[in-house]
Amino acid sequence: MEQPKWECVLDAKAGLGEVPFWFEDEQALYWIDGFRPSLNRTTFGKTIADTQTREWLTPEEIGSFVLCKQRDMAVVSLETGIFSLNMTTGATKKLNEATYDVTNHQYNDGRCDPAGRFWVGTRRRLGAKAPDGSGFFYRMDDRGLVPVIDDITMANGIAWSPDGKTMYVADRPKWQITAFDFNVKDGTVSNRRKFCTVPAGYIPDGAAVDSEGGYWLAYYRSGLIVRFKPNGELDRELKAPTMLPTMIAFGGPDLKTMFVTTSVVDPMKPDAPREPNAGAIFRCDVGAKGIPEHRYAFL
């Protein structure tokens, strides 16, 4: 197992730090705290003292977000639907009602595909009685919000290959990553198949793809970050900075810096001892280069 030299760049103390998104135009890292709940923007100076963070509070628990091609706008998935967020005024506006029973499900991981469509999945609420596989990954564009991928319990790990032809998703109960052939032109998926398996008990969380097509995945509660080759073979295993890494993103001027968000609280074990750096954001050089994130094109 590799032991990277992680640097704590922001002691955010995020209850549920998630969805790091590097915005090249601003050289800034966007991320969420699902429990506060808030969307945040952090810029890094030459020293930790120069780091600055701006916060946008959201009216409901936030699961994911994407930045828009329209300046100073974001789309956020909240508990009761999909909203736009005006980052100049802080105002939110509901774009789509949630298409699920809000007592059983809520939105979780989400990301834009290469054509600028927003894909967002659901997870079962803690304590809910909804059966495994009762959730979806939805596609949102100018055609509305449409369920596309079924049989989802805990939506995570969404990413695309560098050429956009392969889509990946993770789902905790199956202990595997699923791949699809992806049609960038019309946003459809086909050829659903197993990409790789994860050890039982290792929780697949957020993911990112590097410029060589490697699929990087955070194992929540297991303190690991792993890389799979494009053929699904396990390639690297890194010790994460905490036991609760949630997602990784590549950023920095050359996209060669890996950022990792973490959580203070494990919702399944709220009384568990907390690590000193839990909830912080970390970075290091892992010898890989990322690909630029896509922005939403339909607002």
Find out whether 283 and 7 touch, Cβ atoms under 8 Å.
Answer: yes
Residue 73 lies in a domain: yes
Tell me the CATH number at 182: 2.120.10.30
Residue 93 lies in a domain: yes
Give the number of domains in the chain: 1
pLDDT tens string, the chain, 299 residues long: the values are: 999 999 999 999 999 999 999 999 999 999 999 999 999 999 998 777 789 999 999 999 999 999 999 989 999 999 999 999 999 999 999 999 998 999 999 999 999 999 999 999 999 998 888 899 999 999 999 999 999 999 999 999 999 999 999 999 999 778 899 999 999 999 999 999 999 999 988 999 999 999 999 999 999 999 999 999 999 999 999 999 999 999 999 999 999 999 999 999 877 777 777 788 999 999 999 999 999 999 999 99
CA angle (180, 137, 16) in 5-degree steps: 115
Q: Which two tokens stand for residue 148?
A: 């596309």
CA quadruple 190, 213, 224, 246: dihedral sign: negative
Residue 158 lies in a domain: yes
Query: What count of Cα atoms within 13 Å lies in the side-chain half-sphere of residue 216?
Result: 25
pLDDT at 148: 97
Residue 201 lies in a domain: yes
Cis-peptide, bond into residue 37, ω within 30° of zero? yes
Q: In whole angstroms, give the CA distance from residue 20 to residue 250.
A: 9
Q: Which two tokens stand for residue 128?
A: 């809910």
Residue 294 lies in a domain: no
CA angle (82, 187, 207) in 5-degree steps: 70
pLDDT at 35: 93
> What's the residue count for the chain?
299
pLDDT at 267: 73
pLDDT at 47: 77
Residue 20 lies in a domain: yes
Cis-peptide, bond into residue 114, ω within 30° of zero? no
Residue 60 lies in a domain: yes
* Boundaries of domain holding 123: 7-284
Residue 31 lies in a domain: yes
Q: In whole angstroms, give the CA distance from residue 243 to residue 111.
A: 24
pLDDT at 276: 86
pLDDT at 174: 80
